[in-house]
Structure 1
Amino acid sequence: MPSPGWIPAVLASCLVAVVVCYPLTTDSNCTCYQTNETASQFLTHHKFFDFRSLPQYVNVPKAIDDPALSAGADVTSSYFSTADWQSWWQIQSWNNSDTLQRGNQTNATISDATVFMVNSPSNIYFERNTDARPASQTYLTMRTARHTTFQSAAEFESVALDYRYLSVRMKARTKGPPGAITAMFTYRAAQDMNKVQEADLEVRTADPRSSIQYTNQPSWNDNGDVPGSTQNISDPRHVDWGSWQVHRMDWTPKASNWFVNGKLLSTISFQVPRDGSQVIFNSWSNGGTWSGNMSLFTEAYLQVQWIDIVYNNTIKASPGQPLPGWPFPGQPSTSCKNVCSIDETSVIGTPVLITTPGK
């Protein structure tokens, strides 16, 4: 009989943990994905972005101390020109000049920004992981920096505008002084800010490292706070946004659910987003009440090892054919033949096959 040393690592971990061990597979073998936890749902697509081993793209530029040059900067590496990135994400260069003007007039309750903020492609880059015991070789950094006359920020948005229900996760940490915000959220724009649809996770660097803000926007309007729209969760047992943790958001028809390292921390069922939305990541500050005001010449960072997402798109089906989604929660449609999971896997980013026809 072979010695125990021949047992593959994946199988060995299953045996030690005494848990169900599903076979690793590829996305081409999956017709849908089932999430675990209390918000179990079926979704149709999967995408994984892995930033852990990209030394060829490492480039840490200095923050550009000129708003026009900052907004017009080139991307920091050729990675952001690849088809895989550009087919999914758009790096932003917009500024908040319009918000500053309106904030001083009739919409002060919508924004009380006091600092001109500019998103810059130069603030999104790869760097080497210099931790004492690095869990990755590299990671993606999103920087926000306080300059003499303005704040430079970082944001990338999904090219697709029509995600309708999803589960998105990132392994990330936030670094920096008080006055910054880092975030992962869904967003559907509207001319009337009170009609924006948004479900977000925000880290405020002014808060304790055990606190995260979870919100179904809008959380405030001309009449004041919107009750039931937001929760500030402080849990020192599970939350430390300054350390590497897996942050997860499940957007379902009935609620937005947020997790840290697999622990459900927040569920908000009030004003859940209803319509197709973008997925956005950012790192910013505008000197307003919510973010605070960073000290001159300081910087804050959202650092990300990977992003993993299972999702639906609201693509119209052919006549007589089911849509590529189905009611949630509940049973999958009959077209869902091979059910996969990104939760039960032993290899992050690689799905496992959990059911096949007849089983």
Structure 2
Amino acid sequence: TMRLSLTSIHASLSLITTLSNARWTTASPPKNNTPIDPQQCDCYLISGPDPGYFTHYKLWDFRNASPFQPHSSPPKPFNNTDNLYETHNLLTQTPFSKDWHVQTWHRAADPLLSPISMTNSESNVFLMHARPPPQDIPASHNKSTSKSFLVLRTTRFSNHASTAEIESQFGLIDHCSLRLHMRLMSRATAHHHPFSAPETPTPNPNPRPKNQPNFAYPPPATPLPSIPPGNIVPSGTCAGIFTYRSAVCESDIEILTADSPYTIHYANQPDYDAEHDQIIPGASAVVNLTRPWTEWTTHRLDWLRTESRWYADGQLQTAKRYRVPDRLSIIVVNLWSNGGEWTGDLRVGESVYLGIEWMELVYNLSSSA
């Protein structure tokens, strides 16, 4: 019997004997030409004190998605030579929509909690594709090998916020480990220089030999220094990545653009006692990361039976045992603003972009738990 150990995303494409000291590194996701054969695997393991035992695996790699043309009309002339990521396709028009349902619900304003109405729109969830640079643009303009990425966008209008949310639709999940390689960006950065920040170091591309249980991958290279200030993300939005069944059965990662770009929020919900107006002890943590969320970072959420764990670039940030979700759930990713105390308010005309290069998930379904 073979088990797949998620030692690294490159190594995860090879069937290997399970090792107790296996680690899940911050490597780039697997290459598309070496797929996993589910028939040869009976479970997937993760790093940490509890390896977890998961029966299902999914990878959504947005980096080299083929542009989808729903209409036969010729493309518009490309006049802006500085904007190599101008074109996009709605997620609803791509094969990714089989697993992810783009939300279109509306929430009215509430004077106390939500001063601004918000409307989720399918036009705010799309794939941005690189245009071939004109001949007079040097090759060094964009050094990334990625040609596309998923975007969730929120924009403030005079009378509402136009927001974005996607929900998984491949079954109710019974515990999981989720990773996303993502970055929050201003409009200018998303359109002009989305890959200007240091990217995740590339791991050893050779699979772990089956006959060498003590084989270790070299540690990731030391992260490059932060780029000079330039990706100034407007204050007033919240990016959320979470498992969800209800407001009292949820494990989440939240990033507030009103915070320092190094600050991130982790919680099992509920983490706030409205009756006594206080934070519930042990339910949440506010952590300062070593790399800002304005740069490409691998975020990870483990929802296990007795504990939720949160990682950034392979480093454990915190773990919580209080109110660990105990019901079958879905995965949600969103970017929103309602002008309230939690998110703050965008200025009219401002936009925030959440870019995602890839998402990876190991999980159990209700029928296989």
Tell whether the structures are fold-level matches, with TM greater than 0.5. yes
Shift of 1:26: 2.6
Question: 213, 235, 238: which one pairs with 1:178?
Answer: 235
Matched, 1:208 2:267: no
Cα distance in structure 1, aligned partners of 2:145 and 2:343: 30
Count how many residue pairs are aligned between Structure 1 and Structure 2. 266
Match of 1:44 in 2: 55
Amino acid at match of 2:363: Y
Q: Is the 1:184–1:281 Cα contact (8 Å) retained in structure 2?
A: yes
TM-score by length of 1: 0.69
Unaligned runs of 5+ in 2: 1-9, 12-20, 24-33, 71-87, 132-140, 186-232
Please tell me the residue identity of whatever aligns with 1:45: H
Residues 75-224 of structure 1 correspond to what in structure 2 (within 5 A)? 77=89, 80-82=92-94, 84-97=95-108, 100-101=109-110, 104=111, 112-128=113-129, 132-160=142-170, 162-175=172-185, 176-189=233-246, 193=247, 196-223=248-275, 224=277
1:254: how far off?
Answer: 1.0
Q: Distance in 1 between matches of 2:241 and 2:63?
A: 19
1:280-326 per-position Cα deviation (integer Å, ceiling 9, x unaligned): 001111101111111110000110001100000111xxxxxxxx23x
Residue matched to 2:306: 254
Q: Is contact 1:39–1:257 with CA below 8 Å preserved after alignment? A: no
Give TM-score scaled by structure 2 length. 0.67
Structure 1: unaligned runs, 5 residues or longer:
1-9, 12-18, 60-75, 316-323, 326-359
State how far apart, in whole Å, the 2-side matches of 1:58 and 1:52 are: 18
Match for residue 286 of structure 2 among 232, 242, 245 = 232
Distance in structure 2 (CA, Å) of the matches to 1:160 and 1:89: 8
1:296 aligned residue (326, 339, 348): 348
Higher helix share: 1
- Structure 2 distance, partners of 1:314, 1:25, is 22
SS at match of 1:56: coil
Once residues 363 and 118 of structure 2 are traced to their aligned partners in structure 1, the CA distance between those partners, rounded to angstroms, is 31
Displacement of 1:88 in angstroms is: 1.6
- Say what the alpha-carbon RMSD is for the aligned residues: 2.6
1:209: how far off?
Answer: 1.4
Letter in 2 for 1:242: T
Percentage identity across paired residues of the two chains: 29
Tell me, what secondary structure is at the counterpart of 2:92?
Answer: helix
1:57/1:126 contact within 8 Å kept: no
Partner Cα separation in structure 2 for residue 214 and residue 220 of structure 1 = 13
Q: CA deviation at 1:129?
A: 5.4
Letter in 1 for 2:283: S
Amino acid at match of 2:92: F
Confirm whether residue 28 of structure 1 aligns to residue 39 of structure 2.
yes
Task: Please show how residues 61-72 of structure 1 align to structure 2 within 5 Å.
Answer: none
Distance change in 2, residues 1:55/1:269 (3 Å)? same
Aligned letter for 1:128?
H
The superposition leaves residues 167-193 of structure 1 with CA deviations (integer Å, 9 ceiling, x where unpaired) of 01111001221111112100112xxx5
Question: Which secondary structure state, in structure 2, belongs to the residue aligned with residue 208 of structure 1?
Answer: coil
Distance (Å, rounded) in 2 between the aligned partners of 1:231 and 1:20: 27
1:279 aligns with 2:331: yes
Deviations 1:209-247 (A, max 9, x none): 1111001011113222222211110133xx321111111
SS of corresponding position for 1:206: coil
Kept after mapping to 2: 8 A contact 1:39/1:250: no
Q: Cα 1:256–1:302, aligned 2, differ >3 Å: closer, same or farther?
A: same
The alignment partner of 2:181 has SS state of strand
Change (3 A) 1:124 1:58: farther
